[in-house]
Structure 1
Amino acid sequence: MLEIPLRVRYQECDPMGVAHHSVYLVWFEIGRTELYRVCDLSYRDLEATGAKLAVIDVSVRYRRPARYDDELRLAVAQTGCTRVRLSHAYELRHATSGVILATATSTLACVDDAGRPQAIPEAVANAVPVNGDRPR
């Protein structure tokens, strides 16, 4: 599991100062990318193998709004790894209060340049430990 800090930026908000729901997906992708990076694997390295990771499923439960300039903490964990799929869980909290703002899961499929499923390269499959617990 990895935790990273985030801050809600002005351009991510609606006129009421609330973070737009679509921005959460960007934050989750940032977390997932950083999870791989701390495990010495970058998307650039992955793509050099000819493999791509395509999001095939995402589910978000929005609990409370994030607002402009809020400091946040995003926890992300890889929760599963099969021959062609990787699963992740996310938990977004307000950094000061610790209140959970959103939880999410995602599934990515490994595909080739034509979009056909392919086996996850061994180096990728072994790079990130699978943590069955939800992020804390």
Structure 2
Amino acid sequence: MFVSTREIEVRYAETDQMGVVYHANYLVWMELGRTQIIKDLGFNYADLEKDGILSPVLDIQASYKKPLLYGQTAIVKTWIDEYDGLRVNYGYEIFNDEGDLAVTGLSKHVCVKKDSFRPLSIRKKYPDLHNAYEKAKK
């Protein structure tokens, strides 16, 4: 299984009055993790969008284990949990810079055509991306 890593400096604007990362920011960091794994596999999500392909979120979940704080570094680990040629589930673990697990998560996506939102087979349209996902998945 291939695991992608992305480090993010926790900025003041991402925290609440207690200096704790506001929960919705973890969803943004998961998106950064998805973009990073696609890049690490040799592709560019922006290029897919230029080609008229989107990957909307069908479902997302996060379990909070330990707060991340202003001034820490978040380490986002992302992997392909499931993939069937059409749908992809990404798994996430977000750690602080001391190695403590802060958040676990999972997001479910499907690739669709931008103009119609009809599902699209990655296996057929992008065989290189399909093969990369097959090799990288859990």
Partner residue of 2:137? 131
Partner residue of 1:69? 71
Partner residue of 2:102? 101
> Which letter does structure 2 place at the counterpart of 1:84?
L
Task: Show CA shifts across 1:91-119 (max 9, x none).
Answer: 011112x1110000111111112212121
So what's the TM-score if we normalise by structure 1? 0.89
Gaps of 5+ in 1: none
RMSD value, Cα: 1.4
Partner residue of 1:24? 26
Separation of aligned partners in 2, 1:44 and 1:4:
18
CA contact (8 A) 1:80 1:130 kept: no
> Which letter does structure 2 place at the counterpart of 1:124?
L
Separation of aligned partners in 1, 2:76 and 2:95:
6
Separation of aligned partners in 1, 2:35 and 2:132:
13
> Which letter does structure 2 place at the counterpart of 1:100?
L
Task: Show CA shifts across 1:11-48 (max 9, x none).
Answer: 10111111110000010110110111121101122123
Equivalent pairs counted in the alignment come to 131
CA contact (8 A) 1:17 1:67 kept: yes
Percent of aligned pairs with the same residue?
31
CA contact (8 A) 1:41 1:127 kept: no
Partner residue of 2:6? 4
3-state SS of the aligned residue for 1:65?
Answer: coil
3-state SS of the aligned residue for 2:68?
Answer: coil
Separation of aligned partners in 1, 2:14 and 2:117:
31
CA contact (8 A) 2:5 2:36 kept: no
Separation of aligned partners in 2, 1:47 and 1:72:
27
CA contact (8 A) 2:58 2:109 kept: yes
